[in-house]
Every structure is written in structure tokens, then in C-alpha cells.
Amino acid sequence: MLSRVADSLYWMSRYLERAEHTSRLLEVNLNLMLDEGPTSAERRWQRVLQALGKPKRIEWKGDPYGLTRTLTFDTEHKASIVSCIIAARENSRHVREQISTEQWHRLNRLYLQVTRPEMQSDGQVEALQEGTSQPSEFLQSVMEAVHQFQGVTDSTMNHGEGWQFIQVGRYIERAYATTLLLEAYHEDLWAHPEQIAEGNEYLEWMGLLRSATAFEAYCKVYTADLTPDRIFEFLLLNEEFPHSVRFAIDSMQCALEKIQGDGGRSRAEALRRLGGRLQSSLGYSSVDEILNQDAVAYLKSIQTQCREIHEMIYALYVDYAIQTALAG
Amino acid sequence: MQTAHSRQFENAVLKNYLLDQAYDEMFAGSGELHPHCEPLLEHFSSLPAEELQRRKHSADLSFLNQGITFTVYGRDEGTENIFPYDLIPRIITAAEWEKVERGLTQRITALNLFLKDIYNEGRILDDGIVPREVVYSCKHYRRQMAGLQVPRNVYIAVCGTDLIRLENGEFVVLEDNLRVPSGVSYMLTNRRVMKRIFPQLFRSYNVRPIEQYTQLLLGTLRSLAPEGRPEANIVLLSPGVFNSAYFEHAYLARQMGIELVEGRDLVTHDNVVYMRTTNGLRRVDVIYRRVDDDFIDPMAFRGDSILGVAGLFNAYRAGNVTLANAFGTGVADDKALYAYVPEIIKYYLSEEPVLQNVETFLLTRPKERQHVLANLDKLVVKAVGESGGYGMLIGPQSTKAQQEEFAQKIEADPRNYIAQPTISFSRAPCLIGDELEPRHVDLRPYVLYGDKVTIVPGGLTRVALKSGSLVVNSSQGGGSKDTWVLSQ
């Protein structure tokens, strides 16, 4: 597969994962906000920004809907949902001949829905941009479209190297975003739980779980008894839940091994080790151990390792020097 | 341009259908329906206006959702528009097509022989049939190609010739596109949409299929692979996503199952071309290139090109990679050389041309230049190196100031322009609002030349959608429609 193609598939997938994650985070927080007094609003939205990795030039100015609009529609900001969808679609356009027609249609329809609302008859997007409508439906439709895209991807594309790069992109993004989310909540839920307004703990815990589509899955495992340590364990270390960090890293590593299997290069050894080390750390750590030591440092070290893996994928498959390739 | 011929039809859909001196694809001169158009007109007059609009919207949406768009230059990067699509198919009878096919085969054969000749012995120049200065002053002449052997002596593997119909209904050649002709994906997608939207009508006509085009193209490219490369790696080289024809590049690559590459995906080493893959470098044997000569190799041609591959020309010269089309084919579709094509056909094939040229005045000849300068208000003047409807003066539709400007340009550089009579080429029915109106159309069939010449029955019919307009280019408000070649 062409290096450029692998690059585009990887980023297409990352951007879509990011659009979905941002949509869910906003949707959940807009919803929870209704149950609280205005005093805790600032704390909540600062946390949202932190969970999104503190997007450049976007600040909390006291208006949750204004912030939501910026994070949703403002194409001046690369972090906005519409920007992510445009970037994903642009990447897919570069590999138009590599993805299935069904994939392209689904993604292109999403793109047209958010960029050319005049083609959609219900006027939903204009109403939102003008602030006359609630964004919840829009955010849900984005999440739904991304889910459909994933379904179409799994059922219409060869599960070959290209598909594996899509998996790598999705799961590395997911692992990274989930650690950011845990980090953002750490201060409030684990370090200083007393700062949360009386009676709101449950809401906050539920909010965290729902931000990772984890509420129902959590209840199936632990029942609706929400406790911070279990939540942390579930989102970080659960082996079976698709949005947990461990599951994401396992899936990423599995896809990377398939790619290496296709390529069969000894240079991939370093990448295999890097992924394997992270995978074992998540597989064999206990939640008490992590929470008793410096949990934030642990989360940050996962982020660092994700970045290193990303860079190594690039050095190995995309941006390698021609001389070394000829020698090999 | 309404004339005494104008007459009104009683059929409500035809209330704005006015005939003039141009050949009409639906009605004979007297207002009689061509027999092969009867079911067509019947079908379209039987559909209620709302139903027609619904189908039109469905077609437009289908193009937009599929991303069948082209990029308009000179606006924001990435501005995408759909290529306007007209629902009424253009019908060509079996007898008409037979002649077109024969004529195009003859023409591509002769032009290939011409290219081989001028880049090697130059017999036609020695014999004085084509003046040397016409060839050597052409900016698409590539001296680097002199004395170079190309596989199977095929210079033009893919060509898209523009045909128009004169007032008497005869097809003539307006332009040969021998460099990187585009539009074939619209031919294919128009057909797909048409079959979906008007299945019964389509079935009732015996239309010859065109879907085999991509397979034929792949076969053509494979037949041109360098010797000793049985499992040839064939790629399509595109300038990238900002090119106006990017949709087509992706479409063709996908339909052929070959890699779509950009210049940055390719590297050359020891005169061999490789592409960068996730599994290291892989050798490339045949490049179906959709990048112009000028931009394809910054070492051999334009040094400021970032779209190309450094060293590609040397690899080509060494015979390690085939390019389709070859370099330097543009000299044979130069608008001044065009005037000599009938002579070229006679010279190499000893045959009379099957398809005629449009009468062309060469402005390097003083007598013809004077005639043209005196009649700028009646003629069409074209810059020889331009395409896409740019750099053109349409006499009857121009202002005095524009004529003045062209007169000065012609005096300054006569080799750069040619002139032709303003031809009111044929018109076909189009859906404008809720009614049918005639609009000028041309026809671009696609010719493939590998181990033999193949032409799929059909082509891209382009439409000048503005009333009275003679410019069919998509960049200037043109659209397209499906072209049905009947099997009997």
C-alpha cells in the first residue's frame, strides 16, 4: 500500500474518532448542565476544554451555548467538530479510490450535512448556527453518522492493510482522548471530591461514564453503584469495553501486528516492543496501585507513549528515508 | 439566433423549442421528428412537470453525494461544483456512429505515424507537406523526444477528439486532444445515473454499452508495458486532489484496480521508477499520467514544478517505464498544425479523410491574416496553446474593443492564433425549467490505441446550457448529457 494512502486512512480515522468524541462530550455536558445551578458551570466547561486537550484560542467566556457553537461549527478552530469532519473527508478524498463507494457516500453525506446545510431540507444546521435551536440533535446525528461509517467500513472494505491503518488511527485517538478525559476529571473526582457541590457527585460520575459511552456497560459489570475507583478502573483497565484505554491499546497493537505481519520487517521490532510494553502495563496494573501513586503521571505517561508510537509508525511506514529502503 | 425557420410546436413541452439554421438533433429541417427521437419525445411529454423535476433533483443529489464534482480555479481552493447534467439523452444512430468510428480510427493512426516521423526521420518535413517551422515553433514540441523509441510506436494511447455537427448534419473534427484528455468519467457516470432514472426508456432503445471502457483502458496500458515485465505494475499519476479532474483520476484508478499516485509517491533510482509503499519501494512499469509534460519532471522540463518526479524522463528514455501518453504529443494537437491533418492523413495512409476539418485560417500566412483581420466580427479566433474555452474571441458575440484587442495580439504574434468561421453547430433538446429547448452540443468520443484501436460507442456530449451560447466547457457554464449510440 502507498505510504501516502496509509497516512490518509490513518488520519481520516483519527479525525472521525475525534469528531465523535467531541460531539459526545458536548452533548453529555449540555444535558447535565440542566440539573445544576449556574455556579458550577465554569468548573464543568473548563473541564470539558481540558478533556479536549485545551484547544488553542478557545476560552470559557461564561456562555455554554456560545462555547458549544464554537466547538461545533467554528472552522477557524481546528478542534471544532465541523473542522474534524472536513479534515476527515479531505483525507478520504485523497484516497477516494482506496475506500469503498459506500464508505465515501456515508462520509460525504456527513460532510455535506455539516457544510452545505441548504441541501438538507430541515434547516437544522442554520437554526443552530443562529442559536435558535438546541444543538443536542445535531451532535447526536454526528455520532450516529460516525457509527454508521464504522459499520460500513467493517462490512464493505477489505480487512487488509488499509483497514488496519484505520483501526490504528481510531484506537490511538481513542486511547489518547480517554486518558485526557480521566486526567480532566481526576482533580474533581479523586483528588478533591469534596469540591463538588453537595448531591452532585452522582451526576458527575455518570457524566464521566457517559462521556465515554460507558454508563450502561459499567452498570452491567458493577450495577448502578457508582464509585470513583471502579469508574477509573473500568475506563482505564477493562479488557472488554471498547472505549477503555486498555481495550483501545490492545486493538491498536493487534492492528499493528497485522500490518507488521504483512510487511515482515525487522525494523518493526522497536514498534512492537513499544506497543507491547504499554499493553502489558495496562494489562497487569491494578487500579489501587495507580490511584495510590501518582495517577495523573500514569495517565500522562500513556499519552507520551501514544505519541512515541505515532512517531514510530511514521518513521517506519510513511516518512522513511529512501536510502534505507533501497538498502533493505 | 432565431430566423425565418422558426416555427412553433403544438406540444406543450416544446413551446419554447425554436428551430434555426443549426442542425437539430431531434427535428429535421422542416420540423419533422427524426424517427429515432419519437419514443424519446413521447416519453418526456408524458411525464408531469413535477415528476421531471423530481428526477432531475434525484440526479443532481446523486452526483453531489457521490462527490462527482469539479474544482473551479480562481476561487477558494477546493470549491467544488457539480458538473451540470441534462436529463435528455443525445441519440446517435448506428450509421452515423459507423462513420465516426472509421474516421477517428483513421485519424489517430495517422497522427501516431506523424509523431513517430517528426521525432525520427522527419520525412513529412523533408517532403514539404508540413512546414518545419509549424512543428518546431510549437511550444509542445519536445526536442528531448528526438530519436527515442517508444513501445509499439504508440505515442497517443488515449485521445478524446472533439466533434461537432455542421448545419447539414455532418460530423467534423473541431479539436484533437492528444495530451491528457479528460471527461471520460462523466461519460461513465452519466450513463449510470441515466439507467437508474429512466430504466424503461433506456431499455426500449437498443443502446450499445460503454461500461467496458475502464477494462479496455487497462488492457491498452498493459499492452504498452516495457519488455520483460510480464506482471506490469500500472499506476495512474495525478497532480492531486486540487486538480479539477481529480474525481476522474480516482474513479478510473478504482475502476481499473490500479494505484492512484502523486508525484510525491514516486522516486527514481538508477533510472528505475519506484513508488513508496508501507512495505518499502515497489517498481513501477507503466504510468497513465494525467499530468502535463511541463510539470512531470522538474529535471527535464519545468524546474519549478512540484507535481512531478525528478528523473522520470531519464527512466523513460532508458526504457524502464512507459508513459501514456508519451511526451511531446501536444505538437500534433496544436491548433495551427490541425489545419494540416487532412494532408497528414493522405500522406501516411494514402486515403481521403473520413471526417473533415473545420475550415481554418493560419495567421502566419499574410493573405489569410488580412482576411481574418478584416472579418474579426464574423470569425472565431483561438489561441493555439489554450484550451478549456479560454483565450478565445467569438466574433459575432464580441465587442469592438475585444476585436481591437485580438487584432493587436494577432499582429504581435501571428503564430499564436488561428481563426475559423463561426459555426452554428448542432443543437439538441435540453430540459430548461419544465420545457425542452434546443442547446448547442458537441461530442467527445474516447479513442484507445494499444495493440489496436478501440473506441467505446459513445462519448461525452457537452452542452452549452446558456441560450445561444457556443461554449460548452465546464469552466464556462457548460454541462453534459448521456450519449446513446444505437445498435441498429
Give tens-digit pLDDT for B345-373. 999 999 999 999 999 999 989 999 999 99
Same domain, A306 and A276: yes
pLDDT bucket at A275, cuts 50 / 70 / 90: very high
pLDDT class of B2 with cuts at 50, 70, 90: very low
Same domain, B311 and B235: yes
- Please check whether residues A237 and A142 belong to one and the same domain: no
| Residue B60, pLDDT above cutoff 60 | yes
The DSSP secondary-structure symbol of A305 reads H
* Residues from chain B contacting residue A105 (CB–CB below 8 Å): 65-66
Given an 8 Å threshold on Cβ–Cβ distance, is A104 in contact with B66?
yes
Letter for the amino acid at A135? P
Mean pLDDT, rounded, of chain B:
90
Return the pLDDT at B472.
82
CB of B35 closer than 8 Å to CB of B451: no
Q: Which residues of B touch A161 (CB under 8 A)?
A: 278
A327 touches chain B (CB under 8 A): no
SS3 A80: coil
> What distance in Å separates the CA atoms of residue B472 and residue A232, rounded to the nearest whole number?
64
Does B443 reside within a domain? Answer: no
Going from the C-alpha of A300 to that of each of A186, A248, B269, B308, the distances in angstroms are: 12, 16, 43, 43
The model's confidence at residue A130, banded by pLDDT at 50, 70 and 90, is low
Within a domain: B365? yes
A157 touching chain B per CB within 8 A: no
Rounded CA-CA distance A27/A207 in Å is 10
B325 prior amide bond cis, ω within 30: yes
Name the residue type at position B267.
Answer: V
Pick from A321, A326, A314: nearest CA to A6: A314
pLDDT in tens, A76-113: 999 999 999 999 999 998 898 889 989 999 999 999 88
Instruction: State which of B368, B397, B421 marks the end of a domain.
Output: B421
Contact status, residue B322 vs residue B284, Cβ threshold 8 Å: no
Chain B CB within 8 Å of residue A3 CB? yes
Q: Which of A157, A180, A195 is the last residue of a domain?
A: A157
Residue pair A195/A12 in contact (Cβ under 8 Å)? The answer is no
Cβ-Cβ contacts under 8 Å for B461 (sequence gap 6 or more): B90, B428, B441, B442, B443, B444, B480, B481, B482, B483
In contact, A208 and A231? CB cutoff 8 Å: yes
How high is the pLDDT of residue B70?
66
pLDDT at B1 over 50: no
Total structural domains within chain B: 2
For residue A289, give Cα distances in angstroms to A37, A47, A178, B335.
36, 25, 19, 80
Same domain membership, residue A248 and residue A284: yes
Of A192-201, B244-253, B284-293, least confident by mean pLDDT is A192-201
pLDDT at A118 over 60: no
- Look at strands B356-357 and B171-177 and give their pairing: parallel
Determine contact, residues B111/B118, Cβ cutoff 8 Å.
Answer: no
Q: Among A101, A262, A325, select the one facing B281 at the smallest CB separation.
A: A325
Mean pLDDT confidence for A34-62: 88
- A112 closest CB neighbour out of B64, B246, B247: B64
Cα(A309)–Cα(A248) distance, rounded to whole angstroms? 13
Domain limit, last residue, from B421, B439, B458? B421
Q: In this complex, which of B78, B253, B262 lies closest to A4 when CB atoms are compared?
A: B262
- Contact state of A4 with B254 under an 8 Å Cβ cutoff: no
Q: Is A99 exposed, middle or buried (0-12, 13-18, 19+ CB in 10 A)?
A: buried
Mean pLDDT, range B156-165, rounded to an integer: 96
Chain B residues with CB under 8 Å of A75 CB are: none
C-alpha to C-alpha distance for A302 and A277, rounded to whole angstroms: 11
Q: Which of B61, B244, B278, B288 to mutate to test the interface with A (most CBs of A within 10 A)?
A: B278
Asked, for residue B77, whether it belongs to a domain, the answer is: no
| Model pLDDT for residues B307-360, shown as the tens digit of each residue | 889 999 999 999 999 999 999 999 998 989 999 999 999 999 999 999 999 999
What CATH number corresponds to the domain at position B365?
Answer: 3.30.1490.270
Per-residue pLDDT for A286 more than 80?
A: yes
Strand-strand pairing, B234-237 and B259-261: parallel
The set of cell numbers assigned to A229 is 475507583
What is the interface size between A and B, counted as CB pairs within 8 Å?
74
Residue A277, C-beta contacts closer than 8 angstroms, at least 6 positions apart: A305
CA distance B159 to chain A (A): 23
Range of the domain at A219: 159-328
In this structure, what C-alpha cell is assigned to residue B13?
Answer: 413541452
Tell me if B278 and A322 make a contact (CB, 8 A cut-off). no
- Locate cell 518493526: which residue? A268
CA B246 from chain centre, in angstroms, equals 16
Taken as a whole, chain A contains a residue count of 328
* The predicted structure's pLDDT at residue B279: 86
What pLDDT band is residue A200 in, cutting at 50, 70 and 90?
confident
Q: How confident is the model at residue B190 (pLDDT cuts 50, 70, 90)?
A: very high
Contact B278 A263 (CB under 8 A): yes
Residues B140 and B180 sit within 8 Å (Cβ to Cβ): no
Mean pLDDT over each residue of chain A, to the nearest integer: 89
- Stretch among A116-130, A201-215, B444-458 having the lowest mean pLDDT: A116-130
Clarify whether residues A200 and A325 are in a common domain: yes
Residue B356: predicted pLDDT: 96
Q: Which of A111, A127, A157 is the last residue of a domain?
A: A157
Is position B257 within any domain? yes
Pick from A1, A104, A328: which is nearest to B277 by CB? A1
Average pLDDT (A308-312) is 95
Model confidence over B23-37: pLDDT tens digits? 999 998 777 899 999
- Lowest mean pLDDT: which of A234-238, A246-250, B421-425? B421-425
Separation between Cα atoms, residue B207 and residue B378, nearest integer Å: 39
Read off the pLDDT of each residue in B395-417 and give the average, rounded to a whole number: 90
Instruction: Please measure the distance between the N-terminal and C-terminal CA atoms of chain A and give it in whole angstroms.
Output: 17
Q: How far is residue A177's CA from residue A167's CA, in Å, rounded to a whole number? A: 15
B330 Cβ neighbours under 8 A, 6+ residues apart: B138, B139, B140, B141, B178, B179, B293
Range name among A29-33, A51-55, A267-271, B37-41 with the lowest pLDDT average: A267-271
List, in order, residues 6 or more apart from B410 with CB less than 8 Å away.
Answer: B363, B369, B372, B373, B381, B417
Tell me whether strands B435-444 and B460-464 are parallel, antiparallel or unpaired.
antiparallel
pLDDT band, very low/low/confident/very high, at B280 (cuts 50, 70, 90): confident
Q: Tell me: the pLDDT tens digits for A247-269?
A: 999 999 999 999 987 555 567 88
- From the centroid of its chain, how far is CA B48? 35
Residues A268 and A234 in one domain: yes
| Residue B372 in domain | yes
User: Backbone phi, then psi, for B259, in 5-degree steps?
Assistant: -75, 140
Chain B nearest C-alpha distance from A124 (Å): 19
Contact yes or no for B140/B179 (Cβ under 8 A): yes
| Nearest CA-CA partner of B328 in B120, B155, B82, B110 | B155
Residue A18: per-residue pLDDT: 97
A187, A128: one domain: no
Task: Return d(Cα A263, Cα B444) in angstroms, integer.
Answer: 44
Nearest CA in chain A to B262: A4
3-state secondary structure of B289: strand
CB contact under 8 A, A6 and B253: no
Instruction: Specify whether A1 is located in the same domain as A78.
Output: yes
- A280 in the same domain as A233: yes
A79: nearest Cα among A112, A51, A111:
A51
Same domain, B365 and B286: no
Q: Are A326 and B281 in contact (CB < 8 Å)?
A: yes
* Cα gap B436→B88, rounded to integer Å: 9
Q: Is residue B468 part of a domain?
A: no
For the stretch A143-194, pLDDT in tens is 999 999 999 999 999 999 999 999 999 999 999 999 999 999 998 888 777 7
> What is the value of ipTM here, to two decimals?
0.79
Spell out the residues 6+ positions from residue A104 whose beta carbon is closer than 8 angstroms to its own.
A92, A96, B66, B67
- Count the Cβ atoms, other than its own, within 10 Å of residue B364: 17
Please tell me the distance from the alpha carbon of residue A235 to that of residue A183, in angstroms, as a whole number. 12
When divided into structural domains, chain A yields a total of 2
pTM score, two decimals?
0.85
Nearest to B308 by CA among B240, B252, B242: B240
Residue A194's pLDDT is 74
Examine the domain organization and report whether B311 and B390 are in the same domain. Answer: no
A263 shares a domain with A212: yes
Could you tell me if residue B437 is inside a domain? no
Q: Which domain holds residue B379?
A: 359-421
- What's the helix, strand, coil split of chain B in %, to 5? 35, 25, 40
Q: Is the distance from CB of B25 to CB of B428 less than 8 angstroms?
A: yes
In a domain, B132, yes or no: no
The pLDDT assigned to A121 comes to 45
Q: Is A212 in the same domain as A115? A: no
Compute the nearest-CA separation of B384 from chain A (Å): 33
Of A92, A124, A157, the residue that ends a domain is A157
N-terminal to C-terminal alpha carbon distance within chain B: 34
User: Which domain-ending residue is among B380, B397, B421?
Assistant: B421
Res. B8 pLDDT band, cuts 50 70 90? low
Residues A142 and A245 both lie in one domain: no
Over residues A3-17, the mean pLDDT reads 96
Strands (E) in B56-146, as ranges, are: 69-71, 80-82, 85-92
Residue A296 shares a structural domain with residue A149: no
- DSSP assignment of A122-166: T-HHHHHHTT-S-THHHHHHHHHHHHHHHHHHHHHS-SSHHHHHH
Buried b (16+ CB within 10 A) or exposed e, B375-396: ebeebbbbbbeebebebbbbbe
